[in-house]
Amino acid sequence: MSKTLSELEAIYHRPFFDLIQGSRQIHGEYWPENEMQLCTLLSVKTGGCSEDCSYCSQSSRYQTGIERETLMTTAEVLPYAEEAKSNGSTRFCMGAAWKGVRDGDSRFEQMLETVREVSKLGMEVCVTLGQLSDPEARKLKEAGVTAYNHNIDTSPEFYSKIVTSHSFDDRLSTIGAVQRSGMSVCCGGIIGMGETETDRLRMLEVLCGFDPAPESVPINCLMPMPGTPLEDQEAVDVFELVRLIATTRMVLPRAKVRLSAGRTRLSREAQALCYFAGANSIFYGEKLLTADNPSTNKDLDLLRTLDLQPQAPFTTPV
Ligand code: SAM
Ligand code: DTB
Ligand code: SF4
């Protein structure tokens, strides 16, 4: 449901304990199961991207040490998806470093084939392939994609400080095509890029205006990648992160709120506070796309300590 910036500010700036008490109550109402969704990421096409996103190790504009690779074949991807399933993930997300996809292109056809095969495994299938329009979105949906990840990354105002090779409106038009196709929208952003807390709430204001509301909202903490323009950014304050998660939980109660990149820099206690405030999904597995993620043992250990269950596997087709 739409929220104005001042409504979001009123929630976000509540006394800290009132805020998390409020988000906890909503969380308990909508998500009473004490479950954590585990999602595994795989970079199916790494590096060499034409775009200039200042946070990204995969942009060809920066010297980051990430080599350009070709698109993985279906046969190469499948063992990773099977392993993710056997490790307990219920969502498998494939990411590609390029500007976008075009119907008829052989790489797009190859992606469709991969999606068709992965979707037989009984996990949610998410892809993040950059820009697309209606025909591509329809074909991905038909092939078995459940959710399309395309982040707005930050506020409309701050966006041009971070990316110039495509616009905020370009991202919104991709999201429009995803919505029209019937795929779920997975859309969030990154904090810790030099934006203000108001920028973060402006980002949330845009997400709240989506119709339908995003099914999942990844909140990434910037992982400063050597060689990128943002390599020296300082880590974000944990309490600001928790406030944003709690506010997101309150205004998008049905969304999976995913504590995404950057958990390697968060203590166990900080992660626990994020989960308490309303985060109910994480990336699971030692690698994100190019950056590190906590080990699966550490994650399972923390979930056990907090008496949180990994989301149960699906018993009916997804
Ligand atoms: N190329 C596609 C795109 O840009 O939509 C898909 C892959 S892209 C790497 C997916 C998202 O990962 C980005 O939109 C950004 O929000 C997040 N991301 C990328 N690099 C990051 C970093 N260094 N720290 C935190 N989040 C990052
Ligand atoms: C999202 O919001 N975060 C994920 C996923 N969507 C594709 C990606 C995080 C990338 C972190 C940096 C890296 O691994 O290079
Ligand atoms: Fe390319 Fe996506 Fe990285 Fe931007 S975030 S440089 S579009 S891979």
Count CB atoms within 10 A of the CB of residue 8. 22
Instruction: Record the tokens describing residue 261, joined without a space.
Output: 């990149």
Q: Please indicate whether residue 128, judged by its CB atom, sits closer than 6 Å to ligand 1.
A: yes
CA distances from 97 to 17, 72, 158 (A): 40, 12, 22
Q: Please indicate whether residue 245, judged by its CB atom, sits closer than 6 Å to ligand 1.
A: no
Question: Which numbered ligand comes closest to the C-alpha of 225?
Answer: 1
Count CB atoms within 10 A of the CB of residue 49. 22
- Alpha-carbon 114 to chain mean position: 20
Q: Is residue 312 part of a domain?
A: no
Q: Is residue 311 part of a domain?
A: no
Q: Is residue 316 part of a domain?
A: no
Residues known to be catalytic: 49, 53, 56, 93, 126, 186, 258
What is the position in ligand 1's atom list of the atom closest to the CA of 221? 25
Where does ligand 3 bind, in terms of residues with CB under 6 Å? Answer: 49, 51, 53, 56, 58-59, 97, 130
What is the position in ligand 1's atom list of the atom closest to the CA of 150? 5
Q: Is residue 106 part of a domain?
A: yes
Q: Is residue 46 part of a domain?
A: yes
Say what percent of the chain tops pLDDT 70: 100
What is the position in ligand 1's atom list of the atom closest to the CA of 218? 16
Closest residue (by CA) to atom 8 of ligand 3?
97
Question: 68: domain range?
Answer: 5-26+35-306
Report CA Rg, the chain.
18
pLDDT values of the chain reduced to their tens digit, one per residue, 318 residues: 899 999 999 999 999 999 999 999 999 999 999 999 999 999 999 999 999 999 999 999 999 999 999 999 999 999 999 999 999 999 999 999 999 999 999 999 999 999 999 999 999 999 999 999 999 999 999 999 999 999 999 999 999 999 999 999 999 999 999 999 999 999 999 999 999 999 999 999 999 999 999 999 999 999 999 999 999 999 999 999 999 999 999 999 999 999 999 999 999 999 999 999 999 999 999 999 999 999 999 999 999 999 999 987 777 767
Closest residue (by CA) to atom 2 of ligand 1?
130
Q: How many domains does the chain have?
A: 1
Q: Ligand 2 centre from 259 Cα, in Å?
A: 11
Q: Please indicate whether residue 56, judged by its CB atom, sits closer than 6 Å to ligand 1.
A: yes
Residue with tokens 């970079």: 43
Q: Is residue 219 part of a domain?
A: yes
Q: Is residue 149 part of a domain?
A: yes
CATH code for position 229: 3.20.20.70
Q: Which of 45, 58, 288 to mutate to test the pocket of ligand 3 (most atoms within 8 A of CB)?
A: 58
Q: Is residue 315 part of a domain?
A: no
Spatial separation of the C-alpha atoms in residues 282 and 42, rounded to whole Å: 14
Count CB atoms within 10 A of the CB of residue 317. 8
